[in-house]
Structure 1
Amino acid sequence: MPSSTKVTQLQDTPDARAAVASLVERARIAQAEYESYDQARVDEVVTAVGWALVQPDRNRQISELAVETTGLGNVDDKVTKNRRKTMGLLRDLQGAKSVGVIQELPELGLVEIARPVGVVGAVVPSTNPAATPTNKTINALKGRNAIILAPSPKGQAACTLLLEFIHAELDRVGAPRDLVQQLPTPVSKATTYELMNQVDLIVVTGSQNNVRSAYSSGTPAVGVGAGNVPVIIDESAELDDAARKITASKTFDNATSCSSENSLVILDDVYDDAIAALERSGGVMLTSGEKQQLEAAMWENGNLSRHIIARKAPEIAQRVGLSRSELQSATFFMVEEQHVGEEYPFSGEKLSPVLAVYRAKDFEAAFDQTRRLLDHQGKGHSCGIHTQDDAHVQRLGLEMPVCRVIVNQAHAFANGGNFDNGLPFSLSMGCGTWGQNSISDNMNYRHYLNITRIARTIPSNEPTMDDLFGDYLDKYGLAGT
């Protein structure tokens, strides 16, 4: 590997404190220079960082290294994810104002001015060791911030290579390299926690332990919640279309996405036909015995086995010892389930091409089952539905404790923004207070900005007592008289 990205060895917490402080100091110097850039120069830097990953040869090199070092996902899908997520984000940011005056509201006497937050610390997961840090870096740079990446230990090598390519592009446009840095190797909990303490804003995707640590660090933090996506198939769904989309979503990058479907809740009237459509798309329903065999191997002491997650279905079958011939060519597995809770692990997130399937007598029962699944895990994140009945969609939107309801789409592609829906492209899904998060939307560049508001006087708009209380008093009369 070229010497353009230097790696520092680190041993203990005092060293961690000093090493992180050095990175932060360099970041502040770079950010102070970058803050003087106008919108055109900022947008050029953003484009440069996008090209660092999207350039085809680099994208494949990073994707191959990511799969090799993490053991998660597959190369071709990571190439696709890196390209689509980055290009979609750049599309979202085209024309977006993030420097100087971004909005004027003369009728209110207000002017809004975008200001940087400063130095951002970004904790990123091993499941997306290139797409997620690139997304966070672009959003941070759009706001004229510097950023320091904290990759997972498994994802460190891919992140280091990505940083090398980013630095090469920053050199091309004459921007300071120290705008984008990475924690020293080996990445540790000590350096990650020090980063949380020393930066101006911390953004966390991945481990819920890291999210909770960020929130308790005393530094302003934006974290995201856990996924466990349930999807309803009702009696009006186009079953073959639904099956194709579910299959594409559930198998993409071997189900590493937190937005992949984890449970299907199928109405009784179409249950058999829906299962048949899913089987035509490559799914195989496990027998009761095979389900027990998979469960025993899939969880170790209550935790998902690293030998199972993000593997292709045939590889899982081989590792688990499932010998039925259909399983050797399956695209994904289905297991019938009735219950929800810790004692029924298939009701939770599986990070693998395995779907739990529930049968519901009607939409009301499907709604209740979906709610139970989310109350168990994934509350606030999202749910989906395949339907032609808009009343069912509205019911989910009005009552289900989720921030996104995905309708007739491949959930893993749609939830983080897609070219055919209006959600912002992101790999970080805010889950609102349901998921113990401070945001309920897809994390985007506006979360990396401070907004200063200039307020001028306008004609007075003071209401009278009658304006505010007239109708109320006419209806209820005066109290206390």
Structure 2
Amino acid sequence: MEQDYLEEGEEVNDAQLKEIVANVVMKMNGIAPSSNHHLGIFEDMNEAIAAAKVAQKKLRQMPLETRDQIIDKIREKIMANKEILARMAVEETGMGKVGHKILKHELVAKKTPGTECIKIDAWSGDQGLTLVERGPYGVIGAITPSTNPSETVFCNGIGMIAAGNTVVFNPHPGATKTANFAVNLINEAAKEVGEFENLAVSIRKPTLESGDILFKHPDIDLLVATGGPGIVKVILQSGKKGMAAGAGNPPVLVDETANIRKAAEDIVNGASFDNNLPCIAEKEVIVVDEVADELIYYMLSENDCYMLRGEEINRLANTVLIEKNGKYMLNRDFVGRDASVILKAIGIDAPEQTKCIIFEGCKENLLIKEELMMPILGIVRVKDVDEGIETAVLLEGGNRHSAHMHSSNVNNLTKYGKALDTAIFVKNAPSYAGIGFGGEGFTTFTIASKTGEGLTNALSFTRARRCVMSNALYIR
């Protein structure tokens, strides 16, 4: 699979793409609200919200067929610009891999649901007819991350517009240009369908102040945040209805009944995808001692991993973690960076094709406890599956986001799933199967584990309305 997407990225004319990206970035730096080239981008958050409110009133009057047409156009725009968006994100943030980001955009374009999610429930009987229909919230305020800037904008945008909402984005400051280019493409698509404007809006320079306006503005009916634990806390304390997608630190457990060779391949592919930026990715490995050596053997011999030992592990910790006020934090210089870059920083020259750094450690090791978002996997040995489940629960930390397991024992899989109780549970596959990449089901880039919605789609962004006709409109 890796060969396929690397070849896809390499087919693009690199010089041409760099020139296009540079032009886009320059235009974004000089953008104005009235710009015909970049639709939906404002200097002021209050102006952006006002524009979205006007647009939502118009959108709400349009039939579902019109929403479908807009969404089809958005999908076309994503596919036409996937290489540019992928390169923009890597160049702006310094994180991830272009080939993988191309695949993520394809996934969003093809597997993000639209209006088909929105169903009507009906009851007909002696006392008449009752319908429960789904209607929009109105104007949604959305916070997007630097890890998946344009993917999140498109995925949220499709679902929210399908539900009849407009959306105001406050992008991560480290990925503003990429996110805002995605907002522009959404509005281009809408304009081509019917001269719609500002179905999605954003601001040129997002700040803490603009985010605070978004959280408190009376015309914002719902808040949706995709990010770390800090933004989740803000959303939950906002006083508004909120959906919050936060930290995961997903463990992967391997028991003695697993297909070890396949488990090694799946784990490395999942953990190295886009350099471990996805929140669903395997962040640590827990393996029953009986098969631990075999798992490590296949990770090293067939899956381009590099294993650290002894003092090398300490050097890694001192490089990718920073101590501040007695607490350890991620060194952002290494988030989403290639494994070979991280190894070079600790004095190890490794092949550029190195996918993942592995090492053995105990469950108390900071490199294992902390969610690194780097292609680094700590491996914890356990005596049996029960100790493995206990360890996984500890390391997952109650986020209830994602968990993965490799096993052919249904009872073990069942025990693990119940104990972790996560929004996503992937069995015998790479983690990304959980969002529809190599697995069945729709995709999403906002997994609201903390607030309970799980994998969000258009239905998540609607409210239920009950309509009752008493003693009429039934036929017997």
Q: TM-score range by the shorter chain?
A: 0.7 to 0.9
**Secondary structure of 2:283's partner?**
strand
CA contact (8 A) 1:396 1:405 kept: no
By how many angstroms is 1:298 displaced? 0.6
**Runs of 4 or more above 6 Å deviation:** 2-5
| Number of residues of Structure 1 aligned to a counterpart in Structure 2 | 430
d(CA) in 2 for partners of 1:320 and 1:268?
29
CA contact (8 A) 2:85 2:178 kept: yes
Matches within 5 A, 1:246-395: 246-279=267-300, 280-301=302-323, 302-323=328-349, 329-340=353-364, 344-375=366-397, 379-395=399-415
**Secondary structure of 1:415's partner?**
helix
Query: Partner letter of residue 348 of structure 1?
Result: E
CA contact (8 A) 2:268 2:299 kept: yes
1:179 maps to: 199
Note the aligned Cα RMSD (angstroms).
2.3
1:428 maps to: 446
CA-to-aligned-CA distance 1:302-357 (integer Å, 9 cap, x gap): 1111221111111111122224xx566532111211133xx623322111110010
By how many angstroms is 1:18 displaced? 9.9
1:158 maps to: 178
In structure 2, which of residues 98, 106, 110 is the aligned counterpart of residue 83 of structure 1? 106
CA contact (8 A) 1:140 1:448 kept: yes
Query: Partner letter of residue 63 of structure 2?
Result: D
**Secondary structure of 2:455's partner?**
coil
Query: Partner letter of residue 75 of structure 2?
Result: G
**Secondary structure of 1:379's partner?**
coil
**Secondary structure of 1:439's partner?**
coil
In structure 1, which of residues 228, 239, 242 is the aligned counterpart of residue 260 of structure 2? 239
Matches within 5 A, 1:442-457: 442-455=455-468
d(CA) in 2 for partners of 1:292 and 1:328?
22
Alignment of 1:139 with 2:159, yes or no, is yes
CA-to-aligned-CA distance 1:335-380 (integer Å, 9 cap, x gap): 211133xx623322111110010101111111111111123xx621
Query: Partner letter of residue 373 of structure 1?
Result: L
Structure 1 residues 215 and 33, CA gap change in structure 2 (3 angstroms): same
CA contact (8 A) 1:416 1:428 kept: no
**Secondary structure of 1:232's partner?**
strand
Structure 1 residues 166 and 329, CA gap change in structure 2 (3 angstroms): closer
CA contact (8 A) 2:260 2:295 kept: yes
Structure 1 residues 316 and 419, CA gap change in structure 2 (3 angstroms): closer
CA contact (8 A) 2:337 2:374 kept: yes
2:435 maps to: 416
In structure 2, which of residues 251, 265, 268 is the aligned counterpart of residue 230 of structure 1? 251
**Secondary structure of 1:114's partner?**
strand
CA contact (8 A) 1:52 1:162 kept: no
Q: Which has the higher contact order (CA 8 A, sep 6+)?
A: 2
Identity of aligned residues (%): 21
**Secondary structure of 1:106's partner?**
strand
By how many angstroms is 1:401 displaced? 3.6
CA-to-aligned-CA distance 1:116-167 (integer Å, 9 cap, x gap): 1100111000001110111011111001111111111111011122222222
Alignment of 1:127 with 2:150, yes or no, is no
CA contact (8 A) 1:203 1:222 kept: yes
CA contact (8 A) 1:313 1:330 kept: yes
By how many angstroms is 1:443 displaced? 1.3
d(CA) in 2 for partners of 1:213 and 1:272?
44
Structure 1 residues 419 and 273, CA gap change in structure 2 (3 angstroms): closer
d(CA) in 2 for partners of 1:238 and 1:181?
48
d(CA) in 1 for partners of 2:195 and 2:60?
11
Alignment of 1:190 with 2:212, yes or no, is no
d(CA) in 2 for partners of 1:225 and 1:361?
31
Alignment of 1:26 with 2:39, yes or no, is no
CA contact (8 A) 1:228 1:258 kept: yes
Structure 1 residues 370 and 83, CA gap change in structure 2 (3 angstroms): same
CA-to-aligned-CA distance 1:46-89 (integer Å, 9 cap, x gap): 1222222222xx11112111111111111111111111123111
d(CA) in 2 for partners of 1:96 and 1:373?
34
d(CA) in 2 for partners of 1:221 and 1:384?
27
CA contact (8 A) 1:45 1:175 kept: no
1:475 maps to: none
Query: Partner letter of residue 209 of structure 1?
Result: G
Is there any run of 5+ residues in structure 1 with no aligned partner, and where? 10-16, 432-436, 459-481
d(CA) in 2 for partners of 1:454 and 1:321?
68
CA contact (8 A) 1:208 1:225 kept: yes
Is there any run of 5+ residues in structure 2 with no aligned partner, and where? 1-22, 35-41, 472-476
CA contact (8 A) 1:379 1:401 kept: no
More displaced, 243-252 or 121-130? 243-252
CA-to-aligned-CA distance 1:258-314 (integer Å, 9 cap, x gap): 111011111111111111111121112211111011000011121111221111111
**Secondary structure of 1:451's partner?**
strand
Query: Partner letter of residue 25 of structure 1?
Result: A
Query: Partner letter of residue 171 of structure 2?
Result: P
CA-to-aligned-CA distance 1:25-49 (integer Å, 9 cap, x gap): 2111111111111111111111222
Matches within 5 A, 1:97-116: 97=118, 102-106=120-124, 109-116=129-136
CA contact (8 A) 2:70 2:190 kept: yes
Query: Partner letter of residue 313 of structure 1?
Result: A
d(CA) in 2 for partners of 1:19 and 1:80?
33
Query: Partner letter of residue 414 of structure 1?
Result: A
By how many angstroms is 1:96 displaced? 3.4
Query: Partner letter of residue 331 of structure 1?
Result: K
